[in-house]
Amino acid sequence: MAAQKGYIETARQVRNILEDVRGGIFKCVYLLMGDEPYYPDLVCDAILENCLQDWEKDFNQTVCYGSDVDAETVITAARRFPMMAERQLVVVKEAQQMKSLEELALYCENPLDSTVLVILLHGASADKRKALYKTVLKTGVVVDSPALRDYEVPKWINDYYQGLGLSIHPEASALLAESAGTDLGKIAVETEKLLKNLPEGVKEISVEDIEKNIGISRQYSIFELTKCLSYRESARALTIAAHIGEQPRFMLPMAVAPLFTHFSRILKYHAILPQRPSQGDVAKALGVNPYFLREYDAAVRYYPLQACQAVISLLAEYDYKGKGGDAGEATPADLLTELVAKILS
């Protein structure tokens, strides 16, 4: 089965794999890899849970780690036959640490029907130019899980909650995305914590639910800062910037990246305005929930094309400063406040 590209295709592929695994259908080899470990871990956990009955695991399940084994050891285990069971399971976790990882291609060319071999790379990928990857494409399943871009995370959260039978308010989704970043595993863990504390019968997750149960404050968030900048609420924006800068372990690029995404969308809005696009076309072009279009309608008025381009240049300048370039004695908090003041001016 060919590897998928993009998180939407990966999510669809993983749903199909999980359905098969829970129904007792297994491939001989799984190569689970990619920069985002959520989906590879999800598939591996499902296989561990469903491949064998509990009483079969003592003699038919082998779980090892790449730092502790070589290819010969793994191949020897994979070529054993199951004892009093239909199949055996061999799982190699942290397989990226195996110095002889590519040598597993020898076994994967002709795997045993009675063995399920799982090769799990955590936050890493096999070389797609080499034999292991190419061989598993032919004889087994490759899950290639790409890292999400910041702007894709709210959409992923919406889809994830929909799969749980819930909806989530766009502002709540944006706030959760800001807190978790692109760490899908963290989003899943925080959601599990949230669901345990929700009153029975709740079907839509609100901003207040996120704030109360996950411990995120919308009041002093990057999400709220971009909103204030969109409407040029100067005093409020500067107050938020100062508060964000005072947070422990704050680093300027943490703020510059979402601000760049925000003003890039405003710039894109300027580019499509002459076409007189519909609201649906605008939302699609900007990659945002239609709920936020009112904010972007305001921002495109408050930041004409040249002003928006100037802000993009400022963000590039302060990204450089935030990474240690020509910042002088200014702290990250100082730089953020200075940046926001210049954007507003």
Instruction: Give the containing element (helix H, strand E) for 204.
Output: strand 204-205
What is the 8-class DSSP label of residue 3? Answer: P
Least confident of 12-21, 66-75, 181-190, 258-267: 181-190
CATH 1.20.272.10 for domain 222-344? yes
- Residue 301 pLDDT greater than 90, yes or no: yes
Residues of the chain with CATH 1.10.8.60: 150-214
**Across the chain, which distance is largest between two alpha carbons, in Å?**
75
Q: What is the pTM of this model?
A: 0.81
Q: Give start-end residues of each CATH 1.20.272.10 domain in the chain.
A: 222-344
Architecture of the domain spanning 7-144: 3-Layer(aba) Sandwich (3.40)
Summarize pLDDT for 199-212 with one digit per residue, the tens: 888 899 999 999 88
Q: Is the confidence at residue 181, as pLDDT, over 90?
A: no
Region 121-129: mean pLDDT is 95
Residue from 96, 111, 110, 101 nearest 132 by CA: 101
Whether residue 254 has pLDDT greater than 90: no
The fold for domain 150-214 equals Helicase, Ruva Protein; domain 3 (1.10.8)
Nearest to 1, CA basis, from 30, 43, 36: 30
pLDDT category of residue 324 using cuts at 50, 70 and 90: confident
What is the rounded distance in angstroms from the CA atom of residue 112 to the CA atom of residue 117?
9
